[in-house]
Amino acid sequence: MTDVRVALVTGGNRGLGFEIVRQLAEKGLKTVLAARDPEKGRVAAEQLASAGVQTAIAVLDVNDQTSIDTAVAEVLRLNGRLDVLVNNAGISLDGSRAAVADVLDVSPDIARQTYETNVLGPMRLIQAIAPHMRERQYGRIVNVSSRMGQLSGMGARSPGYRMSKAALNALTRIAAAELDGAGIKVNAMHPGWVRTDMGGSSAPVSVQEGADTAVWLATLPPDGPTGQFFDNRKAIGW
Ligand code: NAP
């Protein structure tokens, strides 16, 4: 078994996930860049390798239980451990740039699909990995959420996305409470409005800055927080 902590990042082939993999690898963790499309995963890993950053890859669609079980089993077979889970993969089908983003008009199917990926995906990953973390009495789980899901600041539009991130925040608190005392920290974070395919080119925050809080939460010391929501490394309200 390797001495080095092993981290799996979903949606690691582009955007924030790609940058989180890069920063975790630079911190000395062994990373697994999980991508649902094997070719995209391979190209992303090659891009990192050409910059001197090594990562393993896994094929993982957060909506596909078999692909999750297979990927997690393979990581455990190869490394004997899985210390960090970053639930980064996400979709925004009724985000601010979508044609239809009003609660009165949006199709329930859009909301259902968004919930599948943004909430049930992370839940499936936690179910697959947390039992192993509990056995080893160590784990860091980071849910990449959004202020769009913050109930205290909830506003109009993007109902599917907003409801999914509010539910992801609920999942964060439930998992943190259930795993409390097992050496496992579960936190949610807002990366800012980040220049990615999802955020668009006019977003003010770089991927480097956007990934920072997730990486910090993924490497928290034993006395670090659990069951909280962060923006720029500062706890914020739900
Ligand atoms: P992005 O550029 O659109 O990347 C999304 C990633 O998620 C891609 O790798 C995509 O894979 C993957 N993904 C989508 N559905 C998947 C599935 N079913 N299984 C596995 N992977 C899947 O978005 P981003 O901006 O980096 O966003 C990353 C996270 O940050 C999301 O959870 C998002 O909600 C959150 N966030 C972003 C912003 C922002 O301003 N960008 C703000 C707040 C929160 P493919 O390449 O195969 O599609």
Q: What is the pLDDT of residue 95?
A: 85
Tens digit of each residue's pLDDT (9 = 90 or more) over 123-158:
999 999 999 999 999 999 999 999 999 999 999 999
Answer whether 203 contacts ligand 1 (Cβ < 6 A).
Answer: yes
Mean pLDDT of 214-233: 98
Mean pLDDT of 35-40: 98
Please check whether residue 85 lies inside any domain of the structure: yes
Tens digit of each residue's pLDDT (9 = 90 or more) over 72-115:
999 999 999 999 999 999 999 998 777 778 999 999 999 999 99
Known catalytic residue at 115 = no
Please check whether residue 176 lies inside any domain of the structure: yes
Please check whether residue 150 lies inside any domain of the structure: yes
Name residues whose C-beta falls within 8 Å of residue 2's C-beta, 6 or more positions apart in sequence.
30, 79, 80, 81
Please check whether residue 135 lies inside any domain of the structure: yes
Containing structural domain, residue 88: 6-236
E-state strands within the chain: 6-9, 30-35, 56-59, 84-87, 139-144, 184-190, 229-231, 234-236
Answer whether 146 contacts ligand 1 (Cβ < 6 A).
Answer: yes
Number of domains, the chain:
1
**Which of 149-176 are b and which e, b meaning 16 or more Cβ less than 10 Å from the residue's Cβ?**
bbeeeeeebbbbbbbbbbbbbebbbebb
CATH number of the domain enclosing 45: 3.40.50.720
CA-nearest of 96, 72, 82, 194 to 144 is 194
Q: What is the pLDDT of residue 57?
A: 98
Answer whether 198 contacts ligand 1 (Cβ < 6 A).
Answer: yes
Please check whether residue 1 lies inside any domain of the structure: no
Tens digit of each residue's pLDDT (9 = 90 or more) over 49-80:
999 999 999 999 999 999 999 999 999 999 99
CA nearest ligand 1 atom 21, residue: 11
What is d(CA 112, CA 116) in angstroms, rounded to the nearest whole number? 6
Q: How many CB atoms lie within 10 A of CB 177?
A: 12
